């Protein structure tokens, strides 16, 4: 083959690579406004794919019917309850904000009462750092919480103004979910064929990535629902106002490993103890430590298993980074990117193994005679 033909082929490959890159970036820019809808459509399709497969086995000539039934089940089981929960949550958040504004819930008083029970050296230390003015400190804390809830209330009002955009994104999500359920295997096969790796590495990449992603998403979401529901029931049983609000908050914070739900029930326990509700605080502390926090340790290994589970420190850093960069969607995208990172490095290590260690005399330790020095 002549040098001119090689140059022409190289130029054509470079041009094709640039064209593919530009077209891909332009497409991502085009669909960016619906990135959240696309993300949750993929998550729904991945989680409910086994159900769709069973329906398709029962009605093999009706792919559209199987996908449509699965979509109806997703709507009834997930979408409608989530919308009802959101409406109830907004109502309860408004009621909680009214209690803070009226002074029925006074965080400043709690801090002042707790400060009064501190030893002298602790009160002196607070005075040295500017927290000794009891009246001014109480006013600042109360004003700070009132301002925070006022900002939340303004966000709640903006949700109503963006209702059209919400329902548009919901429609896009359900529409994409239907086609991903119906044609997901064909789309995945085309993507797999386009990956410039050997057949074994492509199969390994797709299999490991899907297993880790499904396990991570399934484990995180189900554990969040269980921990939030358990915490909300405990709050409701103890008569704590805003049980639904606190339950949803614990479900969200449970996505952060290690710290998780403790960010909610620990401060509330301290609040109850500081305000004289001793038995409620003791019960909440015990339930938080032995029941709410134990759900993750018991349920997650059953759902995820030990092979597909990522280390907690990786999940924590990835979740925090995803939340910082992408907001609520980052709770899912962060661990997904971390899973892809770990899978790619596992495949790289399998594809290019390190040579066996060689000792000082230049022989492999396995092949060296036993009587050699």
pLDDT tens string 109-146: 666 666 666 666 666 666 666 555 555 555 555 555 55
Q: How confident is the model at residue 106 (pLDDT cuts 50, 70, 90)?
A: low
Structure confidence at residue 4 (pLDDT): 66
- Cα 343 to Cα 314: distance, rounded to the nearest angstrom: 13
Structure confidence at residue 196 (pLDDT): 74
Query: How far is residue 26 CA from its own chain's centroid?
Result: 28
Is it the case that residue 373 has pLDDT exceeding 50? Answer: no
Q: What number is the average pLDDT over the span 29-46?
A: 85
- Cα 217 to Cα 332: distance, rounded to the nearest angstrom: 7
Range from 59-63, 196-200, 335-339 carrying the lowest mean pLDDT = 196-200
- Cα 369 to Cα 47: distance, rounded to the nearest angstrom: 54
Q: How confident is the model at residue 177 (pLDDT cuts 50, 70, 90)?
A: very high
146 neighbors 101 (Cβ within 8 angstroms):
yes
Q: What percent of the chain has pLDDT over 90?
A: 5
- Cα 52 to Cα 69: distance, rounded to the nearest angstrom: 8
288 neighbors 269 (Cβ within 8 angstroms):
yes
Q: What number is the average pLDDT over the span 291-303?
A: 77
- For 297, counting Cβ atoms within 10 Å of its Cβ (0-12 exposed, 13-18 middle, 19+ buried), the class is exposed
Q: What percent of the chain has pLDDT over 70?
A: 69
Higher pLDDT pick, 314 / 72: 72
Structure confidence at residue 139 (pLDDT): 59
Structure confidence at residue 358 (pLDDT): 46
Structure confidence at residue 192 (pLDDT): 75
Q: How confident is the model at residue 91 (pLDDT cuts 50, 70, 90)?
A: confident
Most confident of 151-165, 292-306, 351-365: 292-306
Most confident of 21-25, 97-101, 270-274: 21-25
List of residues 6+ apart from 104 with CB closer than 8 A: none
Q: What number is the average pLDDT over the span 95-109?
A: 66
For the stretch 224-242, pLDDT in tens is 888 888 988 998 898 887 7
The residue among 259, 271, 261 whose CA lies nearest residue 292 is 261
Q: Would you tell me the crossing angle of helices 278-287 and 199-237 to the nearest 10 degrees?
A: 160
Structure confidence at residue 26 (pLDDT): 92
Rounded to the nearest integer, the mean pLDDT of the chain is 75
- Cα 245 to Cα 62: distance, rounded to the nearest angstrom: 43
208 neighbors 347 (Cβ within 8 angstroms):
yes
How many Cα atoms sit within 13 Å of 134 on the Cβ side?
A: 10
Higher pLDDT pick, 261 / 210: 261
152 neighbors 93 (Cβ within 8 angstroms):
yes
Structure confidence at residue 75 (pLDDT): 92
Is it the case that residue 245 has pLDDT exceeding 90? Answer: no
Tell me, letter by letter, the H, E, C secondary structure of the chain: CCHHHHHHHHHHHHHHHHHHHHHHHHHHHHHHHHHHHHHHHHHHHHHHHHHHHHHHHHCCCCHHHHHHHHHHHHHHHHHHHHHHHHHHHHHHHHHHHHHHHHCCCCHHHHHHHHHHCCCHHHHHHHHHCCCCCHHHHHHHHHHHHHHHHHHHHHHHHHHHHCHHHHHHHHHHHHHHHHHHHHHHHHHHHHHHHHCCCCHHHHHHHHHHHHHHHHHHHHHHHHHHHHHHHHHHHHHHHCCCCCHHHHHHHHHHHCCCCCCCCHHHHHHHHHHHHHCCCHHHHHHHHHHHHHHHCHHHHHHHHHHHCCCCCCCHHHHHHHHHHHHHHHHHHHHHHHHHHHHHHHHHHHHHHHHCCCCCCCCCCCCCCCCCCCCCC
Higher pLDDT pick, 189 / 137: 189
Range from 4-13, 133-142, 289-298, 331-340 carrying the lowest mean pLDDT = 133-142
Is it the case that residue 199 has pLDDT exceeding 90? Answer: no
- Cα 222 to Cα 15: distance, rounded to the nearest angstrom: 46
Structure confidence at residue 18 (pLDDT): 85
Structure token digits, residue 65: 């019917």
For the stretch 56-90, pLDDT in tens is 888 888 888 989 999 999 999 888 888 888 777 77
């Amino acid at each position: 083959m002549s040098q001119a033909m090689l140059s022409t082929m190289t130029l054509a490959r470079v041009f094709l690579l640039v064209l593919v890159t530009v077209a891909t970036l332009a497409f991502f820019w085009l669909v960016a406004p619906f990135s959240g809808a696309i993300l949750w459509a993929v998550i729904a399709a991945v989680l409910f794919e086994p159900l769709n497969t069973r329906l398709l086995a029962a009605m093999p000539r009706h792919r559209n019917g199987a996908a449509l039934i699965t979509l109806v089940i997703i709507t009834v089981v997930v979408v409608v309850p989530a919308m009802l929960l959101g409406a109830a949550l907004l109502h309860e958040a408004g009621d909680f904000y009214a209690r803070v504004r009226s002074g029925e819930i006074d965080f400043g008083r709690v801090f002042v009462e707790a400060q009064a029970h501190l030893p002298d050296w602790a009160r002196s230390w607070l005075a040295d750092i500017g927290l000794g003015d009891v009246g001014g400190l109480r006013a600042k804390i109360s004003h700070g919480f009132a301002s925070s809830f006022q900002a939340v209330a303004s966000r709640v009002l903006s949700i109503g103004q963006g209702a059209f955009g919400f329902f548009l994104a919901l429609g896009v999500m359900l529409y994409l979910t239907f086609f991903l359920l119906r044609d997901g295997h064909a789309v995945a096969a085309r993507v797999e064929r386009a990956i410039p790796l050997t057949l074994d590495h492509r199969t390994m990449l797709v299999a490991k990535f899907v297993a880790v992603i499904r396990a991570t998403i399934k484990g995180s979401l189900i554990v969040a629902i269980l921990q939030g529901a358990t915490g909300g029931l405990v709050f409701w049983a103890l008569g704590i106002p805003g049980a639904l609000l606190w339950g949803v908050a614990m479900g969200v914070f449970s996505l952060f490993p290690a710290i998780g739900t403790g960010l909610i029930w620990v401060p509330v326990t301290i609040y109850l103890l500081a305000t004289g509700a001793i038995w409620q605080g003791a019960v909440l502390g015990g339930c938080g430590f032995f029941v709410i926090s134990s759900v993750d340790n018991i349920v997650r290994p059953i759902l995820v298993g030990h092979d597909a589970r990522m280390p907690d420190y990786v999940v924590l850093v990835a979740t925090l980074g995803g939340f910082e960069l992408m907001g609520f969607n980052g709770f899912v995208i962060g661990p997904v990117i971390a899973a892809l990172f770990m899978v790619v490095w596992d495949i790289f290590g399998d594809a290019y193994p390190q040579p066996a260690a060689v000792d000082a005399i230049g022989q492999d330790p396995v092949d060296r005679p036993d009587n050699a020095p």
